[in-house]
């Protein structure tokens, strides 16, 4: 009987599994293994790279005062750029790795890349989460993976700006390498798509601020949900296990 049920779920296809998974609510006082090791590793590597990129990116846009003495003894701005480019390349490789894992990982691995926007039921769940975050709902729903609003936010103001940052950053690096370089041959299309170097710089800079704003909201919401919704969030990205507590208000 169990095997028949499992086969019927598989036969319903990818879209059905995405919609069903996005709205799945776990009963209290249980635990579920949600985030596999590759996903958790990517999360923390990604976080470290973003911190390094935002700090060094800000300094590149607003350079520090000149350092007295021989430039070759300090090489301050050169080191800032080196850290920025190195962190950017690690971020790009990590993003590629994460996209690949979305196809081979468990059902939670692809949530941030493909929110089920075609589902009316899912949009109803999004609206419920909006009301919950506005303190208009007293009892939260408990989701195994990302809740629907988190899926939408992760995709719209994190994943998409992250791709924009990566491709514009690689294009700007390619410009520095020269138009005859392999880098420019690989990423010169970004300038053809977006315009001149100033426009690409501006879009790259704006995407950084979008990611910074998202990161602040993300940290606040994770801590808030840990306390108010009585389910683990922060520790889940460390251990992989999501713990569900009781339904006390």
Q: Which pLDDT tens digit goes with each residue over 82-104? A: 999 999 999 999 999 999 999 99
In-domain check, residue 89: yes
In-domain check, residue 162: yes
Query: Range of 189's domain?
Result: 29-106+119-243
How many angstroms separate the CA atoms of 202 and 44, rounded? Answer: 27
pLDDT of 116 above 70 = yes
**pLDDT, tens only, 120-130:** 999 999 999 99
Q: 3-state DSSP call for residue 33?
A: strand
Residue 25 tokens, joined: 């609510």
Mean pLDDT across the stretch 229-247? Answer: 84
Kindly report the pTM of this predicted structure. 0.85
In-domain check, residue 187: yes
pLDDT for 168 equals: 96
Which band of pLDDT confidence, cut at 50, 70 and 90, is reported for residue 25? low
In-domain check, residue 17: no
Where residue 245 falls (left for φ over 0; alpha for ψ -120 to 50; beta otherwise) is beta
Q: How many domains does the chain have?
A: 1
Phi, psi of 244 (to 5 degrees): -110, 125
pLDDT for 167 equals: 96
In-domain check, residue 41: yes
Q: What is the CATH number of the domain that holds 73?
A: 1.20.950.20
How many angstroms separate the CA atoms of 86 and 88, rounded? Answer: 5
Judge contact between 212 and 54, C-beta under 8 A: yes
pLDDT for 61 equals: 87
In-domain check, residue 3: no
In-domain check, residue 1: no
What's the mean pLDDT when you consider all of the chain? Answer: 85
In-domain check, residue 2: no
CA triple 48-236-117, angle to 5 deg: 85
Least confident of 10-14, 150-154, 193-197: 10-14
Mean pLDDT across the stretch 218-235? Answer: 89
């Amino acid at each position: 009987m169990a095997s028949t049920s499992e086969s019927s779920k598989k036969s319903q296809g990818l879209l059905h599994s995405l919609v069903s998974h996005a709205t799945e609510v776990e009963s209290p006082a249980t635990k579920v293994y949600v985030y596999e090791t590759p996903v958790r590793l990517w999360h923390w590597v990604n976080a470290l790279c973003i911190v390094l990129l935002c700090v060094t990116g800000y300094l590149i846009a607003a350079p520090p005062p000149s350092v007295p003495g021989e430039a070759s003894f300090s090489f301050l701005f050169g080191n800032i750029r080196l850290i920025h480019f190195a962190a950017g390349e690690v971020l790009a490789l990590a993003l590629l790795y994460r996209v690949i894992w979305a196809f081979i990982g468990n059902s939670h691995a692809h949530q941030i890349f493909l929110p089920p926007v075609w589902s009316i039921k899912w949009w109803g769940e999004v609206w419920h989460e909006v009301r919950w975050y506005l303190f208009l709902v007293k009892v939260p729903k408990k989701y195994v993976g990302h809740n629907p609003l988190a899926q939408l936010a992760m995709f719209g103001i994190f994943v998409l700006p992250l791709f924009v940052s990566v491709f514009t950053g690689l294009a700007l690096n390619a410009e520095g390498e020269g138009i005859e370089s392999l880098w420019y041959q690989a990423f010169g299309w970004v300038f053809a798509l977006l315009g001149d170097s100033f426009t690409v710089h501006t879009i790259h800079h704006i995407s950084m601020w979008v990611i910074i704003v998202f990161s602040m909201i993300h940290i606040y919401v994770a801590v808030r949900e840990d306390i108010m919704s009585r389910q683990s969030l922060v520790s889940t990205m460390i251990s992989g296990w999501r713990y569900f507590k009781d339904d006390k208000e």
